[in-house]
Structure 1
């Protein structure tokens, strides 16, 4: 008798119904990924680690080095 539960569960018992209702409400629904709207001219600040020689190459051209890096990354990304 030690292997049997104290009270056998039936298909319509309250606990089983409550557990089924809870699972139904709390189950994660796979959502479609939200696509970000790209607004031209809007920049996002990020922290990026690049090799010192690469940074010096772009900074050697004077002001606008960040725009030149951005242009090079756009070209590499095929955009």
Structure 2
């Protein structure tokens, strides 16, 4: 959602919209939001369990941190992905 998609309304305006039913998506809108999936869409799906995370204090160069933060939300997740990629590359060369 971008700022241009957002609107400011008062509590009273929200109450009026709720009374009119304008806050709930219509059935047609809900159907349009749901993608049509092919019959075999889930055939090769597999369950992936999340790996437990451990909180650590890590000192990194300021420019490295700013680089990851400049990409937007999720900078710590991206940093973890880079470390995981490095770890995987090192493990395949042993």
What TM-score comes out, normalization by structure 1 length? 0.47
Higher relative contact order (CA 8 A, sep 6+): 1
Larger Rg: 1
